[in-house]
Chain A
Amino acid sequence: KQEVTQIPAALSVPEGENLVLNCSFTDSAIYNLQWFRQDPGKGLTSLLLIQSSQREQTSGRLNASLDKSSGRSTLYIAASQPGDSATYLCAASDSGTYKYIFGTGTRLKVLA
């Protein structure tokens, strides 16, 4: 069964800094990997979806990469802003299904 780990658990950076969030998964037979953000008390907002045949996806200041062979994905945030402060969750599909297994998240705080 798929297991997903995210490091670091928490991160505090000054505004303007570029940063990388890491996600590791144990089963490389994934269909999809998706990054979400969750604001306190809110639901999940989809950021980027990477399908198994893709290596990366970009949206604005966000770039997500996928390396199935090493079981890793990274979310790169350029020129961070206080509005980026949230918990970032990585979800990988579970062994030949479309069901998601979620990581424990990285709580990001961007200081003005």
Chain B
Amino acid sequence: SAVISQKPSRDICQRGTSLTIQCQVDSQVTMMFWYRQQPGQSLTLIATANQGSEATYESGFVIDKFPISRPNLTFSTLTVSNMSPEDSSIYLCSAMGTGSFSYEQYFGPGTRLTVT
């Protein structure tokens, strides 16, 4: 299995500012993803973080708003830019493709973001 940590665990930010969330996996993984969970709702995929190249974004999400980096096989960052109260959500990273558990997806504990 993979153990995933995220920093920060929570933050309160002012509108118009940006926050970068870090995701660290304890082993090399093939794929990393970023999800958003809005209050009372299920998870929505934001993008696939590609190692060494630009992330692949889902419909409704754009790079200018959610720039993502993945410099190596164990680390990724998601930035929420020019924040508004509508960005208040839990942001979760996930990983899959590690060792013999190649297809199981593991999740970090999430970052709870509140925008005021």
Residues from 41 to 56 in B contacting A, C-beta threshold 8 Å: 41-45, 48
Instruction: Verify B103–A32 contact, CB threshold 8 A.
Output: yes
Number of A-B contacts (CB under 8 A): 54
Shortest beta-carbon distance, B33 to chain A, in Å?
A: 7
**B108 in complex: contacting residue of A43, A89, A103, CB < 8 Å:** A43
Complex Cα distance, B112 from A31, in Å, reads 30
Whether B107 lies near A36 (C-beta < 8 A) is: yes
Which of B1, B44, B105, B106 has most A Cβ within 10 Å? B105
Binary B-proximity of A17-37 (CB < 8 A = 1, otherwise 0): 000000000000001101010
* Residues of chain B in range 19-76 having any CB-CB distance to chain A below 8 Å: 31, 33, 35, 41-45, 48, 58
Query: Are B103 and A105 within 8 A (Cβ)?
Result: no
- Cross-chain contact of A44 among B31, B45, B92, B112 (Cβ < 8 A): B92
Kindly list chain A residues whose C-beta atoms are within 8 Å of the C-beta of B107.
36, 43-46
Q: Is the CB of A43 within 8 A of B45?
A: no
State whether A34 touches B42 (Cβ < 8 A). no
B35 to chain A, nearest CB (A): 8
Within 8 A of A (CB), among B85-103: 92, 94, 96, 103
Of B41, B44, B104, the residue contacting A34 (CB under 8 A) is B104
Determine if A91 is an interface residue (Cβ-Cβ < 8 Å).
yes
Question: Taking beta carbons and an 8 Å cutoff, which residues of B are in contact with A?
Answer: 1, 31, 33, 35, 41-45, 48, 58, 92, 94, 96, 103-110, 112
> Shortest 6 CB-CB distances between A and B: which pairs?
A44-B107, A43-B109, A102-B43, A49-B104, A102-B42, A43-B110
8 A-B contacts, Cβ less than 8 Å apart? A36-B107, A42-B110, A43-B108, A49-B104, A89-B43, A99-B58, A100-B45, A102-B42
